[in-house]
Amino acid sequence: MSYELVCLGNPLLDIQVDVDSSYLAKYGLKENDAILAEPQHMPIFDEILGYKDVKLVAGGAAQNTARGAQYVLPAKSVLYFGSVGKDVYADKLVDANQSVGLSTAYMVHEDIATGKCAALINGVNRSLVTDLAAANHFKPSHLEKPENWAIVEAAKVFYIGGFHLTVSPEAIELLGKHSAQENKTFIMNFSAPFIPQFFKAALDQCAPYADYIVCNESEAAAYAESHELGTTDLEEIAKKVAALPKANTKKPRVVIFTQGTDATLAVSYDAATKEFSTSKFAVHALDSAKIVDTNGAGDAFAAGFTAGLVKGKDLATSIDMGHWLAKLSIQEVGPSYPFPKQAY
């Protein structure tokens, strides 16, 4: 089988509930954040499973992006790698993936539970607390299996969730090296502020492979701080990230910073001419009363954007496709996409 787009990340089931600020305060959580669960957060999962309004929805940031890209692209365009257990949570992920026709090649661990994420929705914000479980046990050897490596070799574009830097930078590097050698397209997302903060070495090891870096404004700020860039100006940060060393010197690096409802910033750097090019793209307006929740908004943006690149669209059109899909997804529960299918 061949797929144009191959994605890698941490497959998770989202346990989504509405909470108020006192619940977040009880666990010392921020309104809008994504963290790895520490022992003191573990009771959250059982607590919210008892809530009347609890919703179980397929999650895992890169898996959401893979589903969204497959939603846009022709059948059999996207395959997703990750690691799950053998349980009802994994069954739910498979159901959601099948609903859009997303193919998976999971590494399955019989004795470890599928990972889960408490998605604590508070107004337009969401605080995500993740217990990676089986997702934490992905190994590069899974990619190296002949049937999987054939999929990698046939792919043209790779999308990597930065969250996977906490699991297997080696797997990311394996794909990155292949992509650079073959002059393919490699897209990485910073995923959350804690990635540039606490997984700086892994990020710096993998960033040279990225042709496209996608993140939001708070992740960009966290990057600037941990890398002591000496600026808080988003365009300046984007320029420094764009000009980082690059493994594939045949194409420029493009850095894309989303900013919620503010315009998305794109900066590309051509090492051959040493020239930067900066542009801004307005998001698609949406009446705030129509927002169901923003869980997965950034993943949906990355999905539409990546689908655009897979289709060979230019930067402006690809970013617009990202804005379009994000607008659709925030009108659904969790990181989901509307049915009947809409077309861009």
163 lies in the site for ligand 26A, by CB under 6 A:
yes
CA separation for the pair 102, 85 (Å, rounded): 19
* CA neighbor of 66 nearest in space, from 93, 27, 84: 93
Judged by CB under 6 A, which of 3, 60, 158, 175 binds ligand 26A? 60
CB of 6 to ligand 26A, least distance (A): 17
| Helix residue ranges per DSSP H, 162-314 | 169-181, 194-198, 200-206, 217-226, 234-242, 297-310
Annotated catalytic residue within 14, 131, 211, 299:
299
Residue 83, phi then psi, degrees to nearest 5 = -125, 130
CB of 164 to ligand 26A, least distance (A): 7
162 lies in the site for ligand 26A, by CB under 6 A:
no
In this complex, which beta carbon is closest to ligand 26A, that of residue 132 or of residue 143? 132
Q: Are 12 and 164 in contact (CB under 8 A)?
A: no
Concerning whether 299 is annotated as a catalytic residue, the answer is yes
68 lies in the site for ligand 26A, by CB under 6 A:
no
131 lies in the site for ligand 26A, by CB under 6 A:
no
CB of 159 to ligand 26A, least distance (A): 13
Buried b (16+ CB within 10 A) or exposed e, 107-137: bebeebbbbbbbbbbbeebbbbbbbbbbbbb
Residues numbered 166-205 forming contacts with ligand 26A, rule: CB under 6 A = 166
322 lies in the site for ligand 26A, by CB under 6 A:
no
CB of 239 to ligand 26A, least distance (A): 26
Residues numbered 25-44 forming contacts with ligand 26A, rule: CB under 6 A = 34, 36
Residues numbered 132-151 forming contacts with ligand 26A, rule: CB under 6 A = 132
248 lies in the site for ligand 26A, by CB under 6 A:
no
Residue 7 is given by DSSP the state: E
Judged by CB under 6 A, which of 14, 211, 219, 320 binds ligand 26A? 14
Is the C-alpha dihedral spanning 334, 136, 209, 219 positive or negative? positive
In this complex, which beta carbon is closest to ligand 26A, that of residue 64 or of residue 268? 64
Nearby residues of 119 by Cβ (< 8 Å), 6 or more positions away: 14, 15, 16, 17, 57, 59, 126, 128, 295, 334
CB of 227 to ligand 26A, least distance (A): 20
CA separation for the pair 195, 169 (Å, rounded): 12
Could you list the active site residues? Answer: 299
- The footprint of ligand 26A (CB under 6 A) covers 9-10, 12, 14, 34, 36, 59-61, 64, 117, 119, 128, 130, 132, 161, 163, 166, 295-296, 298-299, 335
